[in-house]
Amino acid sequence: MFETHSITTRIKLRGNRIYTKRNGLQQSNLIPLYNALIHKILQLECQKRNLERKLIYNQQESWMGKVMPTEQMLP
């Protein structure tokens, strides 16, 4: 099951045919499945880029020798 915005796409495998059920309508059209997969891939790519940026930023901070005071590290 894939979440695309507020629409849920369910996937059923029957033999060699794939059916998607979206908003109560059953269809053998693969376009909704592809759209859901593309949307999820783009979400994950965006998350990956954000995490890479954070990692680079944190590495730069540590290379500069900036140490966070212990008061700021406490919750």
* pLDDT tens string 19-28: 555 555 555 5
d(CA 48, CA 69) in angstroms, rounded, equals 29
Could you state, in order of their start, the residue ranges of all structural domains in the chain? 2-62
First vs last Cα of the chain: how many Å apart?
A: 37
Residue range 21-45: mean pLDDT, rounded? 72
Q: Which two tokens stand for residue 31?
A: 């376009």
**pTM of the entire structure?**
0.43
- Decide if pLDDT at 41 tops 60: yes
